[in-house]
Structures are given as structure tokens and as C-alpha cells.
Amino acid sequence: MDLILPSSGLIFWQLFGFLALLFILIKFAWKPMLGALEEREASIDNALKSAEQARSEMANLKAENEKLLAEARLERDNILKKAQEASAKMIEEAKDEAGKQGAQMIANAKAVIETEKKAALAEVKTQVATLTLEVTEKLLKKNLSDDKAQKELVDGFVNDLKLN
């Protein structure tokens, strides 16, 4: 039974060794282990806080980027709208100017045509008058070569004058 039940001296020495080992571990190893654990816990907490702070900064940056992007889109839309308005205005002004120039050209052409028409009519009248005088002169020379014909012509003119 010696193997099953140890003797009291063995128990005493085992207890004494255990307590001595426990004292040495508490004195020299326990504090550094607790310090290392606390330090590790603090570093984990700091890492979690840093990660949370980075996450919140990323959320803020994302929100700010979205805001800037929305502002840029709005500004782009405004610029495009102004450009389209300016383009439409320039096209309208060009159309108006072209219409004015066209109307001016038509008026100038009408004036030139009217002037040329009057000049042509005046020339035709002059030519008709010249031809009429020439024809009349030839007829009068032929018809009034004798005195009797001249007298009949004068009487005819006088009768016409009385009727008018």
C-alpha cells in the first residue's frame, strides 16, 4: 500500500516544494505575465479603436466625396445648360442677322431693278419719241409738199381744236 498512500514526509516535501514554486512564480513570473497580458489587451483595444476611427474617417471621406461628386455633377449640368443657352442664343442671333442681311440684299436688288427699269423705260420713251418724230417728219414732208395739203391739215387741226 505504500504505492497507493504516500507517507506524510513525502506529502510535506511535495507541499513545501509546491508552495515554494508558487511563491517564486507569484513573485517573479506572475507580475510580468499579467503586465504582458494587460499590455496586449491595451494594444488590442488601441487597434480596435484605431480601426473604428479609421472606419468612421472612411465613412466621412466617402460622404464628403459623394457630396463633392454631387456638386461637380450639378456644376457640370449648369455649365452644359449655360453652354446650350449660349449656343441657342448665338444661333438665333445668327439667324436674325442673316435674315436682316437677306432683307437688305433683297431691298437693294429691288432698288437696283427699279432704277434699271426706270432707266430702260426712259430710254424706250426717248427712242419712241425719236422714232415718232422721224416718222412724222417723213410723213409731213411727203404729205405737205403742196399748198393744198397743208391747208387741209391746218383746217383739220382747227376743227379738232373746236371739238375739244
Domain range list for the chain:
18-163
Any residues with CB less than 8 A from the CB of 144 and at least 6 apart, and which?
150, 153
Residue 144: the pLDDT is 66
Residue 61: the pLDDT is 96
Residue 143: the pLDDT is 66
Question: Which residues of the chain are modeled with pLDDT < 70?
Answer: 1-3, 142-145, 162-164
Dist CA 119 CA 102 (whole Å): 25
Residue 142: the pLDDT is 66
Dist CA 61 CA 37 (whole Å): 35
Residue 43: the pLDDT is 96
For residues 153 and 143, the answer to whether their CB atoms sit within 8 Å is yes
Q: Cell digits for 147?
A: 399748198
Residue 9: the pLDDT is 84
Return the CA Rg of the chain. 65
